[in-house]
Amino acid sequence: MGRIIVTEFVSLDGVMEAPGGGEGFRYDGWSFEIDRGEDGNQFKLDETRDSDALLLGRRTYEGFAGAWPSREGDFADKFNNMPKYVISKTLDKAEWNNSTVLSGDVAEEAANLRRTLDGNIVVHGSAQLVQTLLEHDLVDELHLMVFPVVLGTGKRLFGATSDKKHLRLADSKVVGDGVAILTFERAESAPQTP
């Protein structure tokens, strides 16, 4: 059985829009303004090496498919060669190597991937997809690289949910110029209220 791991760059106020740029957002590329240091770079490299498949929303998929095939190096090699699944009702065909379009119900498609694949199924970006996965309790682990900046505007990582979602902090560290890496796991049982 696979594990769905969501990994995000977020601002202190929860904005996850266009951390790497290229989306026309007012603060495109905001994460590059703050050094995450060697330890932060190593965390991302290790996370990528531990990925067995990617699960992406259409917009993130199209951004990645436009950027990674022409690149070289550890990240690019891993991204270009591993299986990729894109959740989309509008995309007919996925051109990027080893890509499959999943057009059914998002929660059902993700749950099926989790049942049928082994290893880490990693989600980058993909705000709408992540919110759906969180709503349906399909996120096994959440990696947040929290940058010390308040953007004040932009697409937020967390949206409304139908109920509380309990997580457990599994690891935390500060890297580079004050970037916090927080790893959360889904709590097995919710805390009891008095």
Confirm whether 193 is domain-assigned.
Answer: no
Q: Are 151 and 25 in contact, with CB atoms under 8 Å apart?
A: no
The reported pLDDT for the residue numbered 189 is 59
Across 151-161, average pLDDT = 95
Confirm whether 192 is domain-assigned.
Answer: no
Q: Residue 142 and residue 144: Cα distance in Å, rounded?
A: 6
pTM of the model: 0.94
pLDDT over threshold 90, residue 161 = yes
- For 43, the 3-state DSSP assignment is helix
Under the banding of pLDDT at 50, 70 and 90, the label for residue 74 is: confident
- CATH code: domain of residue 96: 3.40.430.10
pLDDT over threshold 60, residue 35 = yes
Q: Residue 27 and residue 9: Cα distance in Å, rounded?
A: 13
Rg of the chain's alpha carbons, rounded to an integer?
A: 16
Domain that holds residue 89: 2-186
pLDDT over threshold 70, residue 190 = no
Under the banding of pLDDT at 50, 70 and 90, the label for residue 191 is: low
Confirm whether 151 is domain-assigned.
Answer: yes
Q: Is the dihedral of CA 141, 142, 145, 146 positive or negative?
A: negative
Confirm whether 83 is domain-assigned.
Answer: yes
Confirm whether 176 is domain-assigned.
Answer: yes
Higher pLDDT, 22 or 120: 120
Across 108-134, average pLDDT = 97
Could you give the number of structural domains in the chain? 1
Q: What is the pLDDT of residues 83-119, one digit of tens each?
A: 999 999 999 899 999 999 999 999 999 999 999 999 9
Across 23-29, average pLDDT = 92
Across 170-193, average pLDDT = 87
- For 193, the 3-state DSSP assignment is coil
Q: Residue 134 and residue 102: Cα distance in Å, rounded?
A: 18
**How many other CB atoms sit within 10 Å of the CB of residue 24?**
7
Distances (CA, A) of 140 to 5, 85, 121, 179: 6, 18, 10, 23
Q: Is the dihedral of CA 68, 84, 3, 29 positive or negative?
A: positive
Confirm whether 194 is domain-assigned.
Answer: no
Q: Residue 130 and residue 149: Cα distance in Å, rounded?
A: 22
Q: What is the pLDDT of residues 2-15, one digit of tens each?
A: 999 999 999 999 99
The reported pLDDT for the residue numbered 8 is 98
Q: Are 137 and 130 in contact, with CB atoms under 8 Å apart?
A: no
> Per the structure block, which two tokens stand in for 103?
């057009």
